[in-house]
Structure 1
Amino acid sequence: MTTAYRIVVGVDGSPASIVALRWAFRQAYARGGAVQAVCVWTGDPRATETDAWRGQGEAILSDAITAALANNSRVTISGVTIAGRPADELVRLADGADLLVLGSHGRGRLSRAVLGSVAERCVRMATSPVVVIPPYLVQPAEAAETVTLHEVQLNPSAG
């Protein structure tokens, strides 16, 4: 029994995460695989604003998928919005995946000169291979790009 090539991508709505998502789509298409886009929000899941946090995460995820797909539906994609610590949840969801893909913002102290703190933690903790898309691959046009919210079917049926 064969399992489809599965790529998990961290999405936070930044230009770097959209570039990472585009990279993951190309890899999934080339390998006949699927992409799982993950947006982790850090609010308290028991708080009264849970629905607002979840809604914001879903909007970020939907916008990113729309921007990255650019009307290209050749790859199966699913989306997950979850509360928690971003690195911990990404590593957990990537367990058993073929790749975990992240965009790097390139911010932080010297120890994070290339990787952001989430990317750095994922590289250290993940059991699957991790690909970090460096910030210099984000073109100025992509960084300035604004995305209009569109409804996206996050779990299209295979077929």
Structure 2
Amino acid sequence: MSENESRPVVVGVDGSPASKAALRWAVEDARRRGCPVDVISAWHPDYGVMIGPVPAEILLALSPQAMKETAQRNLDAAVQGFEGVEIRRILVEGDPRKALTKASEDAELLVVGSRGHSTVVEVLLGSVSSYCVHHAACPVVVIRGPKVEHEHTFVAAAAPVTPGPLL
């Protein structure tokens, strides 16, 4: 990056409501700063566990090329409608945590969304926002996603619930 070039506001997007809120916040902040926005979306093949025969359509959708094309379409859709600021779309293959912290090395600010997962989910999957807060090379802003009201459903038990084994 040259001396005359302004450092961007970097934002990570993944299509979630929290990342959309982070993108809106980042664009407004970059507009005030007069700098560009680097919108980063990371993708990587994750095949999980597949047992049994898999239909050809699913196998084609899981190809690296198809995953990359889908990620590019999602990135393009995410940045539609923003004006008044230079937006640079960056699609990266790899771990989003690593991609964002690498981009933070040349950034004015890093903005990420937080989905607000439970502690158990964050331990198992890891939190991108937490990782960025601890490893970024620039200041980090974490934007909470919109609060979602969870519906509570009650299932009637087929057998009576007891405090323990019946003697």
Give yes or no for TM over 0.5.
yes
User: Which segments of 5 or more consecutive residues in structure 2 lack a partner in the other structure?
Assistant: 47-61, 149-167
CA distance in 1, matches of 2:17, 2:77: 11
1:23 aligned to 19, 22, 25, which one?
25
Number of the residue aligned with 2:37: 35
Indicate the SS of the match to 2:116: coil
Q: Answer whether contact 1:13 1:63 (CA < 8 A) is retained.
A: no
**Identity of matched residues, %:** 37
Q: When the two structures are aligned, how many residues end up with a matched partner?
A: 129
Q: Answer whether contact 1:54 1:82 (CA < 8 A) is retained.
A: no
Instruction: Determine whether 1:57 maps to 2:67.
Output: no
- Let me know the Cα RMSD of the aligned residues: 2.3
Instruction: Determine whether 1:133 maps to 2:135.
Output: no
User: Which amino acid in structure 1 is aligned with residue 95 of structure 2?
Assistant: R
Q: Deviations over 1:107-154 (max 9, x none)?
A: 030795xxx70111111111111100023xx277xxxxxxxxxxxxxx
Task: Tell me the CA shift for residue 81 of structure 1.
Answer: 0.9
Q: Answer whether contact 1:29 1:74 (CA < 8 A) is retained.
A: yes
Indicate the SS of the match to 1:53: helix
CA distance in 2, matches of 1:139, 1:107: 12
**Runs of 4 or more off by more than 6 Å in structure 1?**
none
Number of the residue aligned with 1:155: none
Distance 1:109 1:84, change over 3 A: same
Distance 1:42 1:139, change over 3 A: same
Number of the residue aligned with 1:108: 118
Computing the radius of gyration over CA atoms, which structure comes out larger, 1 or 2? 2
Q: Answer whether contact 2:7 2:106 (CA < 8 A) is retained.
A: no
TM-score normalised by structure 1 residue count: 0.73
Distance 1:111 1:55, change over 3 A: closer
The 5-angstrom pairing of residues 74-113 of structure 1 reads: 74-109=84-119
User: Which segments of 5 or more consecutive residues in structure 1 lack a partner in the other structure?
Assistant: 141-159
